[in-house]
């Protein structure tokens, strides 16, 4: 009896100690969570003093979109800077570091190579040079935005988001140059074609020039007539529909820009109101104004044009002295010294050459490759989105686009008067004697640029008879265009499918119909290749059970790249082996590097035309690549091809760059992995790395019927209810109302002038 009582008492003491320890751990965990996460959440209600002239009201709706009402534009931009920093400060700081070459300062050696490239590209130096040439109007806007950001930084010292605490640093003040850097980083992302030119040059060394040119088409989309109303890595979709095809009798405009996934996402949704300004849409953190969206009169969207804005020049230069001799003159390149801070180490010092064409990209065997890029032309930089935000009609919209420097874009337009329009915009170089063979030896001056193509001569359309305007990165230049065309345009599959879906939808289109088109996953190319594989199997046959099973699975497939199907994976693996075989035929050993976005169109043309001099037996090639694809798939997903699933191969796994790596809790920061439908050739362009970075479906004139969402959420803080509250809706192919005239406010923050 005594022993039993003692045992019970001991158990009680142990349980008491365990409960105390668990309680202490819970309190400690709660304290850590509060200190590093909850304490850093921004104020969304009450009052805050920032550098504005008059009172500004910030109303946040149910998904955290700030609706900012100010009494002047400068106050609106200051408020925009403040609220954007409150949700995305670490993203903004990282963006300027990636662009400026300062990443290693906070992450150490892991960021050093990225910093080296950014320094070689001179992005921060370029931003500083651009600032000296900014118009007074642009300077005021950037300065007002920076005042708002810095007000948040100063008023929240010691309460920044956990990334700053984990990495052990505080953000520097924000400047107008940092805003320009944010723009240049997007410019760099959308015009980074010099690496493709290096690959092409490498293939030319060991390959046949005509066949290499076949792999890198810059001018023609075969079997498809480009043009407004008929017809990149990354890519986008945008289209406008006249009121003749809509249920409301007013135009509709849709836009989904495809960029790399990230946590947080690329865009920040915002609504700005001030005298003469009432605009809503997505903004780029760091940049004042709205990049894509609508005001109370017009809507607009964009896709990347893909026109080459970069050329490489092999300079005849002495790498020791920087001197290089041309036919008529002697020029002197200059060196720029770079010091890259590296966390935990001494700074890395380097000297970079800058030639008359631009910075050197590579030095090999005594040769210098220099990069010429429109982004280095400081005279072309203007934040035209501020003028677009205020535009009232087509004429004012075009006037704003005239000053757009780049990256070159296809702009789609619609207005409340029933008009729809399109205009290519950006500074497109006029090249002398351009042949497409790169890099170019610029010593003679025969391959220099003669300015830019005049804006009025860029492709454009206004109220086409079809009532449709569709752009999906395809080539918009007519065959008889007056200037030489250079670019990496997308194959026509997405543009064709959008047109087909619009035409089949009848004359009662609504924003929800456009959203369904944005999420369409039919691939015309994949269906074509599947038919080719089935036909060659039927001709040749094979005593191979997995091969037979794969072909029977493909036989009645409708081309839907659905995550739950096997056929997309069968076709994709066969295509990858086919693309490699084609590239290896052109330049032995180069097949694994050839991933040009025109690859599907190149393969389709080859299989349709089957020209001599490539392969002696195309049918044997197809069977061999299908067999190789099946063998690869069996290693990935098992022996039975009919049981494979596309979504197990193409999936989204979006990791937070800091929190996602924390043991045990990283999963709470991250998205996925989750299976994805779609492919690079579907309207919903999806790969493991990229997808639609926003979706807008604007109901012109009936603005509150518009739809918009971003993939993840407004906030960059995992403790916020808006960290990833949009993901499930985005993933399901649904959207949110784009509140405009009627705002269902959940929180109100009043910004008042500092005393």
Task: Tell me the three-class secondary structure of 507-524, residue by residue.
Answer: CCECHHHHHHHHCCCECH
Q: Which domain holds residue 31?
A: 2-36
Instruction: Reduce the DSSP state of residue 318 to 3 states and report it.
Output: coil
Beta strands in 433-517 (DSSP E): 449-452, 460-462, 468-471
Tell me whether residue 7 is in a domain. yes
Residue 93: predicted pLDDT = 97
349, part of any domain:
no
10-residue mean pLDDT profile of the chain (755 residues): values are: 57 58 53 61 93 98 98 98 97 96 95 94 95 94 98 94 92 96 92 78 79 74 33 70 96 96 96 98 97 98 93 71 50 84 94 87 67 92 96 98 95 98 96 57 62 96 95 91 87 94 92 97 97 92 84 96 98 96 87 83 93 93 95 96 96 90 83 95 94 97 97 94 96 97 95 93
Q: What is the CA radius of gyration of the chain?
A: 28
Sign of CA dihedral 420, 421, 422, 427: negative
The three-state DSSP-derived secondary structure of 146-170 is HHHHHHHHHHCCCCCCHHHHHHCCC
Nearest to 446 by CA among 326, 353, 355: 326
Is 338 within a domain? no
Q: Is residue 9 part of a domain?
A: yes
E strand or H helix at 688, and its extent?
Answer: none
Instruction: Spell 91-112 as b/e; 16+ CB within 10 A means b.
Output: bbbbbbbbbbbbbbbbbeeebb
**What is the number of helices (H) and of strands (E) in the chain?**
22, 29
Tokens of 165: 């605490």
Cα separation, 672 vs 620, in Å, equals 40
The domain total for the chain is 1
Residue 181 contacts residue 96 (beta carbons within 8 Å): yes
Within a domain: residue 463? no
- pLDDT on residue 532: 96
Start-to-end CA span in the chain (Å): 77
492 touches 221 (CB < 8 A): yes
Report the C-alpha gap between 136 and 140 in whole angstroms: 6
411's enclosing H/E stretch is strand 409-415
Residue 418 maps to a domain:
no
Beta bridge partners of 412: 301, 422
Closest alpha carbon to 553 in 682, 640, 625: 640
Give the whole-angstrom CA distance, residue 352 versus residue 336.
Answer: 5
Name the residue among 515, 536, 525, 523 with its Cα closest to residue 565. Answer: 523
What pLDDT is recorded for position 507? 86
Could you tell me which of 593, 597, 567 has the C-alpha nearest to residue 580? 593
Q: Could you tell me if 602 and 611 are in contact, meaning their C-beta atoms sit under 8 angstroms apart?
A: no
Left (φ > 0), alpha (ψ -120 to 50) or beta: where does 206 sit? alpha
| Kind plus residue range of the DSSP H or E element containing 693 | none
State how far the Cα of 83 lies from the Cα of 43, in Å rounded to an integer.
9
Q: Are 561 and 678 in contact (CB under 8 A)?
A: yes
Cα–Cα distance for residue pair 626/632, rounded to 1 Å: 10
Burial class from Cβ neighbours inside 10 Å (0-12, 13-18, 19+) for residue 693 reads buried
Does residue 28 lie in a domain region? yes
Q: Return the structure tokens found at 670.
A: 């991250």
- Give Cβ neighbours of residue 138 (< 8 Å, ≥ 6 apart): 382, 383, 386
What pLDDT is recorded for position 247?
A: 96
- pTM for the full predicted model: 0.91
User: Which is it for strands 66-69 and 268-274: parallel, antiparallel or unpaired?
Assistant: parallel
Omega cis (within 30) before 134: no
CA 496 from centroid of its chain's CA atoms: 22
| Residue 730: per-residue pLDDT | 97
Contact indicator for 639, 546 with CB cutoff of 8 Å: yes
Determine the pLDDT at residue 221: 40
CB contact set of 154 (below 8 Å; sequence gap of 6+): none
pLDDT at residue 42, as a whole number: 86
Nearest to 629 by CA among 551, 689, 559: 551
What is the rounded distance in angstroms from the CA atom of residue 492 to the CA atom of residue 504?
18
Kindly state whether residue 31 falls inside one of the protein's structural domains. Answer: yes
Among the listed residues 146, 158, 237, the one whose alpha carbon sits nearest the alpha carbon of residue 520: 237
What is 331-389 written as a DSSP string? Answer: EE-EEEEEEEEETTEEEEEEEEEE-SS-BEEEEETTEEEEEEEGGG-GGG---THHHHH
């Amino acid at each position: 009896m005594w022993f039993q009582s003692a045992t019970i008492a001991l158990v009680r003491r142990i349980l008491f100690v365990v409960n105390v320890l668990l309680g202490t751990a819970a309190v400690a965990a709660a304290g850590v969570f509060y200190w590093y996460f909850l304490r850093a959440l921004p104020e969304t209600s009450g009052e805050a003093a920032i550098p504005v002239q008059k009172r500004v009201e910030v109303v946040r709706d149910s998904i955290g979109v700030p609706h900012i009402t100010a009494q002047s534009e400068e106050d609106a931009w200051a408020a925009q800077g403040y609220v954007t920093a409150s949700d995305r400060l670490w993203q903004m700081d990282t963006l300027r570091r990636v662009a400026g070459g300062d990443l290693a300062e906070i992450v150490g050696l892991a960021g050093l190579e990225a910093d080296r490239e950014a320094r070689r590209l001179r992005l921060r130096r370029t931003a500083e040079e651009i600032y000296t040439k900014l118009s007074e109007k642009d300077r005021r806007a950037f300065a007002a935005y920076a005042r708002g950001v810095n007000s948040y930084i100063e008023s929240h010292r010691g309460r920044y988001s956990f990334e700053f605490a984990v990495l052990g640093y505080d953000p520097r003040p924000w400047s107008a140059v940092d805003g320009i850097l944010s723009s240049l980083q997007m410019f760099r992302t959308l015009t980074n074609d010099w690496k493709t030119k290096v690959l092409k040059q490498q293939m030319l060394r060991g390959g046949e020039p005509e066949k290499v040119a076949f792999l890198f088409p810059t001018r023609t989309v075969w079997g498809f007539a480009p043009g407004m109303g008929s017809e990149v890595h990354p890519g986008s979709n945008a289209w406008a529909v006249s009121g003749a095809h809509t249920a409301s009798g007013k135009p509709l405009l849709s836009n989904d820009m495809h960029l790399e996934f990230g946590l947080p996402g690329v865009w920040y949704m915002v609504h700005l109101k001030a005298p003469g300004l009432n605009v809503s849409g997505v903004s780029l953190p760091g940049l004042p104004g709205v990049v894509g969206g609508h005001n109370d009169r017009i809507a607009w969207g964009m896709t990347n044009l893909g026109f080459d804005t970069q050329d490489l020049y092999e300079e005849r230069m002495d790498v020791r002295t920087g001197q290089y001799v041309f036919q008529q003159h002697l020029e002197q390149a200059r060196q720029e010294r770079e010091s890259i801070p590296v966390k935990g180490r001494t700074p890395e010092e380097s000297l970079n050459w800058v030639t008359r064409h631009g910075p050197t990209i590579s030095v090999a065997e005594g040769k210098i490759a220099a990069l010429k890029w429109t982004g280095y032309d400081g005279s072309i930089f203007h934040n035209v989105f501020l003028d677009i935000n205020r535009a009232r009609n087509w004429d004012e919209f075009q006037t704003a686009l005239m000053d757009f420097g780049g990256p070159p874009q296809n702009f789609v337009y619609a207005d409340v008067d029933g008009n729809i329009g399109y205009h290519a915009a950006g500074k497109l170089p006029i090249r002398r004697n351009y042949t497409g063979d790169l890099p170019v030896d610029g010593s003679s001056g025969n391959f220099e640029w003669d300015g830019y193509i005049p804006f009025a001569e860029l492709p454009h359309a206004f109220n086409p008879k079809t009532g449709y305007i569709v752009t999906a990165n395809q080539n918009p230049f007519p065959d008889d265009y007056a200037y030489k065309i250079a670019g990496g345009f997308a194959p026509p599959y997405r543009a064709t499918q959008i047109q087909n879906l619009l035409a089949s939808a009848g004359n009662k289109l609504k924003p929800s119909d456009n959203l369904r088109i944005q999420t369409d996953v039919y691939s015309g190319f994949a269906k074509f290749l599947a038919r080719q594989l089935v036909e060659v199997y039927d001709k040749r046959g094979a005593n191979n059970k997995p091969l037979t099973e794969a072909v029977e699975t493909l036989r009645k497939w409708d081309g839907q790249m659905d995550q739950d199907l096997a056929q997309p994976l069968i076709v994709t693996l066969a295509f990858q082996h086919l693309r490699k075989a084609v590239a290896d035929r052109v330049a032995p050993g180069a097949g694994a590097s050839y991933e040009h976005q025109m690859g599907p169109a190149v393969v389709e043309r080859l299989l349709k035309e089957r020209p001599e001099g490539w392969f002696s037996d195309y049918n044997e090639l197809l069977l061999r690549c299908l067999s190789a694809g099946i063998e690869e798939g069996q290693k990935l997903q098992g022996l039975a091809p009919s049981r494979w699933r596309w979504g197990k191969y193409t999936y989204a796994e979006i990791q937070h760059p800091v929190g996602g790596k924390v043991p045990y809790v990283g999963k709470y920061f991250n998205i996925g992995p989750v299976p994805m439908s779609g492919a690079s050739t579907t309207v919903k362009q999806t790969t493991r790395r990229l997808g639609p970075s926003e979706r807008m479906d604007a109901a012109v004139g009936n603005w509150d019927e518009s739809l918009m969402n971003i993939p993840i959420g407004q906030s960059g803080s995992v403790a916020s209810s808006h960290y990833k509250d949009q993901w499930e809706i985005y993933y399901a192919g649904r959207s949110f109302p784009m509140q405009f005239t009627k705002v269902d406010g959940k929180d109100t923050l009043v910004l008042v002038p500092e005393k």
